[in-house]
Structure 1
Amino acid sequence: MNFVLLMTLALFILLGMLYLGISKGGQLMALALFTVIIGGELCKRIHPFIEAYFENIVICFLLYNSYYFYNDIDPLPLVGLAAIFVQRVTLFTFTFRHINFIWSIILYTLPVASAFLVVIDYSPSYQIPLPNPYEMKIAGFGMILISTAISIHTVRLFRKTIINIEQREKRVNSSYKQVLELNQILNHNLRTPLATAIGQLEIAERSNNGRKYVIQAKEALSQVTIQTSSVNNAKKAFEATANINEFLIKWKKIYDHDFVKLEIPEDQNKYELTEEVAIALAVSFDIFAKNSKEAGATELLIKVKKSAKNLQIELIDNGSGAPSEIIQKFGKPMASNKEHGTGIGTYLAQRLLKSAGAQIRFSNRKNRSGFKVSIEV
């Protein structure tokens, strides 16, 4: 659409120039400038590298001719073209910084050759019609304006690139932190069943009737499989989901928590999840669900609250809750109590959510037994 508008505008300007009786020299200069603009757009559609070569060739040709034919009339077009050339070369250098070195040398051969011709004063052997001084002034100011516009565009492009780099760096750091938190959760959840299994097998070795110890070891090792699958299932719950609604429905199906109920308003589809946030939610929800069961809960409600800005989720169970002094210690390592299903797993889940940029609060339900976890992303 922009290209069609550009072509239409160029056509109207050219027809206007012919109608107003601009000199042949002015028409030639205008046609040369429009060739750069229109030709550059056409070449960009083929490949940006072809655009770079095309603009390089045409601008160098215009600079060479401006120096020998236009400079004595008015230096503004030469100054404007030189500024445009420097800006475009700078932009192309940044854009194609990863290309083959030979192609880079070829890209800059023509500017060097043009400069060499000027240095040795190799004047062209042809003549072109010259515009009048008034037309030269207009062309010069036009080129200065184009140069200014290119400068603004280049600055915006560099700024956008820097912002993208900073955002990617933050995502990488956050992902690295999340990996560490997931590793801690796995270490914590695997340590007990593995130690139990090893202990039962050692007893079985020394016992004449070791069958029951082998069974206990088998049960402990099955817990290892369950715990490792929790992290693996987190990624499965995120795959092929476009929003929070689809994610929660898929999470409940994969993790198979029968006592979990979902309350999701239909208009909450606007919240799109990143993989980082989804994995943190999936693993922490699994931890909170297991804690609720240990606290005697028969129902856990996962509720997505209506919010104009952030994603807000509440997990509410009907278990025994937790003493207020324990809730105050949440978020501090080695300060939780397993008596109410709120051991160090809760602390690790909290850290995992924070690594994904979420805020989390714990409280007992008001006027009834139960525990509530509030999460905001």
Structure 2
Amino acid sequence: MENLLINILFVLLPILIFQIFYINTDSKYKNILLATVFSISIIICMNFTITNYEGHFFDLRYIPFVLGALYGGKKVAIFLYFVILVYRFYIGGEGFYIAFIDSTLLLIILLFLLIPKYQTYSLKTKISGTMALLGIVAIISLITCHTLFGFILHAPIVLLSSFVVAQALTMGLSVYFLEYLITMDTMKKQLYHNEKLKSLSEMAASISHEVRNPLTVTRGFIQLLKSPGIDDEKKITYLDLSLQELDRAESIITDYLTFAKPHENIELELLNVTAEVNYVANLMEPYALMQNVSITKEFFIKESYFLGNKKQFLQCLINLSKNAIEAMQNGGKLEFKVNKENEKITIQLTDNGVGMSSEQIGRLGVPFFTNKEKGTGLGTMVAFSIVKAMKGEIKVKSRVNEGTTFTISIPESVSTSDKED
């Protein structure tokens, strides 16, 4: 009984390896993997025989042989066939001839009957067919033993029947597990594919909607310009509004492309964090004053450098600053703080605006999620994408009606002057 359980364990072990490695392995290595793991399973089964009755070894070696052949193809089948014969010859004894007859019969059935059409069968047919095959082979093996050596009549009936039943049931169970794993993997891939299509369609629809709005407004102003009797002042107003709407459409497309395009090939340079943050704070000052927002800066380090793309980093800070200013609808204060912790540069942007709930924080960085009436969510999405490309991270703390703090952490780099020193 102990060796029977060991046989079953090492028959099922390749199936677990199949789940972990085979499904996600390149096609050129799949058959090599299958041949290797099922060969090991065959050898272990032959080492731990269920029983050895007068020189004939009872074990489950043919189950990994059939599984490897059916799921690996003809080359794997032939390889496993020789593994069985070579190792059985190494063990020795007259039982080698029985192994030769059994394995040769199985190989012929597999190569010419089962392997070519196996994948077209239903699960029920696969299970019942393989169980019947192994059961018949076991019976043929016993009959051949009796014909050649005449010991079957003296062997316990329970031993012989349990061997046939155990082999057939383990075969059916193994096929069921393998087919279940393959089905789950297929469903997983299909679900992933459907999710990608769904995300793509949602993003396409959202972009179309966001871009169509400013274009519709622009079209309306252009139509008004064609009306007779419009004075020059209104014409200038309509043209200015049309240009603003076109700029908004361009901004949406630019933000989307910044997020969508890969960051692997961007030019990187050493950037002085205090200089860049100071530049953005000064740049946003006029816009902040228009919104009745004051900007303060605190630099706890004089000079600290990181590796990044200047244009994209400035865009990231500008997007977050603009969002923070617009979150303070009745005015307020935007604070910039620059510090260093554990060899990482930290940049904090704190406002005392409307704040966010935990649910809203969890959705930050998702395309077209926004808390602003006329926002698209692309600005925040781009900011998250840029920081991630610089191997950094953004953490957000916020309370509704109290304010929000964005903390950017970026790995520090050594400046050229520091290296020379």
TM-score (normalised: structure 1): 0.42
More strand as a share of residues: 2
TM-score (normalised: structure 2): 0.39
Structure number with greater CO (CA < 8 Å, separation at least 6) is 1
